[in-house]
Amino acid sequence: MDFKPANNIQDLQYFGEFGGVNPSISDSSTYTFLSAKTMFDTFEGNADGCYLYSRHSSPSNLYLGEALAAMEGTETATVTASGMGAITPVLLQLCEAGEHIVSSRTIYGGTYAFLKNFAPRLGIETSFVDITKLDVVEAAITPKTKVLYCETVSNPLLEIADIKQLAALAKKYNLKLVVDNTFSPLSISPAKLGADVVIHSLTKFINGSSDTVGGVVCGTRELIDQLRNVNDGAAMLLGSTMDSLRSASVLKNLRTLHIRMQQHSHNANYLAEKFEKDGIKTVYPGLASHPSHDLFKSMMNTMYGFGGMLTIDVGSLEKANALMELMQERNLGYLAVSLGFYKTLFSAPGSSTSSEIPEEEQIEMGLSDGLIRFSIGLDADIERTYKIMKACMTELNILEPELA
């Protein structure tokens, strides 16, 4: 039978201490032992099912981690206090001083800043490449390379990584393929396509209510155990631990992710088709004009669609700013960074979320001034939304007024 990630969520069965339909929340930072010997064994990692201290693990965090591992189809997972709190420990666990990373150049601004400005202080160098060109990716691999890093759907340009081919490259050179799947939960399952590690910022679609930051690393039991090791585990020692109360609330939101993704995708697809027809430069993986449309189709779990993210180019930063302010005034969404909210969110990535990337590099990768990134919301009547958006664009001379 086909792998259906949402079914994996649906099939999870956790009960609370008193038979509650939700698991009990572990409201403790430390745990008692009946025998001193068991405490010692737990420290050594030899006492399964025992909890020691909540920076290491807690029942609530394990529930959420197991649910996300089931969704991504990995052996296990560990949740973290933020997406960056998942990304940085993984890279520091997999790479030592003197080693090297090959990364997509179109990645989340914070990840880019970490690899470009911070990791070199620890002797870890990164080559940034166009991830859609496999020959360029392969040419950047050196004997020191340990990790191949990319986002399934890149931020903010919505380039698509060919996970199967990248996994084959990783295998050939004995690298770990680490994939940030934040933009395409459920739609694409990178581990199923050969990725070794799948990371999410839970802050975005998965939690979906813009009320917290959070992250997860999905991978093999071996890697997750290494990350949590009390002696040399990066997640354990850097301390980016999620709070139990928060993981319980993220778990509850995760249960409606499949319905939300279907609606985000439906609405984004509708708007992308309309904008493109109106002559606006639109990038959306669901459009036949997207350079990787067929690739996305070949990787996707069809029922969740092409995701909720799209970009349009309105020509200049002035026009982009005017349009975003007007759309906010008309209550079409919020001028805000982040994604995966019930409301549409929009921002101009060149001057916000990707401002860590120097201007020359922005131009080279096609990140133009007039670009607006949309995270399309859960609007019940997307046709109405479109009509109001179109009126805004006409008012600002982005669209020609229609000949009556």
Ligand X SMILES: *Cc1c(COP(=O)(O)O)cnc(C)c1O
Q: Which of 157, 213, 312, 399 binds ligand X (CB under 6 A)?
A: 213
- Considering the rule CB under 6 A, would residue 108 count as an interface residue with ligand X? yes
Least CB distance from residue 16 to ligand X, whole Å? 28
Separation between Cα atoms, residue 87 and residue 72, nearest integer Å? 16
- Considering the rule CB under 6 A, would residue 350 count as an interface residue with ligand X? no
Separation between Cα atoms, residue 268 and residue 296, nearest integer Å? 15
Least CB distance from residue 203 to ligand X, whole Å? 4
Q: Which of 56, 176, 204, 290 binds ligand X (CB under 6 A)?
A: 204
Which residue number places its CB atom closest to ligand X? 83
Residues in 366-395 at the binding interface with ligand X, rule: CB under 6 A = none
Between 204 and 266, CB nearer to ligand X: 204
Separation between Cα atoms, residue 344 and residue 350, nearest integer Å? 19
Least CB distance from residue 213 to ligand X, whole Å? 4
Between 110 and 315, CB nearer to ligand X: 110
For residue 6, give the 3-state DSSP assignment.
helix
Residues in 271-290 at the binding interface with ligand X, rule: CB under 6 A = none
Separation between Cα atoms, residue 181 and residue 199, nearest integer Å? 6
Separation between Cα atoms, residue 323 and residue 176, nearest integer Å? 42
- Considering the rule CB under 6 A, would residue 82 count as an interface residue with ligand X? yes
CA dihedral 64, 68, 74, 79 (to 10 degrees): -50
Residues 102 and 141 sit within 8 Å (Cβ to Cβ): yes
Instruction: Report which of 361, 396, 399 is spatially closest to residue 105, judged by C-alpha positions.
Output: 361
For residue 42, give the 3-state DSSP assignment.
helix
Show the tokens assigned to 263: 């609606």
Between 299 and 399, CB nearer to ligand X: 299
Least CB distance from residue 384 to ligand X, whole Å? 28
Instruction: Report which of 5, 8, 401 is spatially closest to residue 185, judged by C-alpha positions.
Output: 5
Between 150 and 271, CB nearer to ligand X: 150
- Considering the rule CB under 6 A, would residue 180 count as an interface residue with ligand X? yes
Q: Which of 59, 65, 83, 208 binds ligand X (CB under 6 A)?
A: 83
Residues in 285-344 at the binding interface with ligand X, rule: CB under 6 A = none
> Half-sphere exposure of 144 toward its Cβ, with a 13 Å CA cutoff?
13
Between 169 and 213, CB nearer to ligand X: 213
- Considering the rule CB under 6 A, would residue 88 count as an interface residue with ligand X? no
- Considering the rule CB under 6 A, would residue 185 count as an interface residue with ligand X? no
- Considering the rule CB under 6 A, would residue 194 count as an interface residue with ligand X? no
φ and ψ at residue 244, rounded to 5 degrees = -60, -40
Q: Report DSSP state, residue 117.
A: I
Q: Which of 151, 196, 278, 369 binds ligand X (CB under 6 A)?
A: 151
Between 109 and 194, CB nearer to ligand X: 109
Among 44-52, 196-204, 277-285, 376-384, which window interacts with ligand X (CB under 6 A)?
196-204
Show the tokens assigned to 14: 């956790």
Separation between Cα atoms, residue 274 and residue 343, nearest integer Å? 19
Show the tokens assigned to 304: 């969740």
Question: Could you give the C-alpha distances from 115 to 84, 127, 169, in angstroms and in order?
Answer: 12, 9, 21
- Considering the rule CB under 6 A, would residue 203 count as an interface residue with ligand X? yes
Q: Name beta bridge partners: 143.
A: none
Among 133-141, 201-209, 319-327, 387-395, which window interacts with ligand X (CB under 6 A)?
201-209
- Considering the rule CB under 6 A, would residue 84 count as an interface residue with ligand X? yes
Q: Which of 215, 285, 333, 370 binds ligand X (CB under 6 A)?
A: 215
- Considering the rule CB under 6 A, would residue 241 count as an interface residue with ligand X? no
Q: Report DSSP state, residue 193.
A: G
- Considering the rule CB under 6 A, would residue 132 count as an interface residue with ligand X? no
Separation between Cα atoms, residue 312 and residue 354, nearest integer Å? 16
Terminal alpha carbon distance of the chain: 54
Q: Which of 54, 74, 145, 155 binds ligand X (CB under 6 A)?
A: 155
Q: Which residues bind ligand X (CB under 6 A)?
A: 82-84, 108, 110-111, 151, 155, 180, 182-183, 201, 203-204, 213, 215
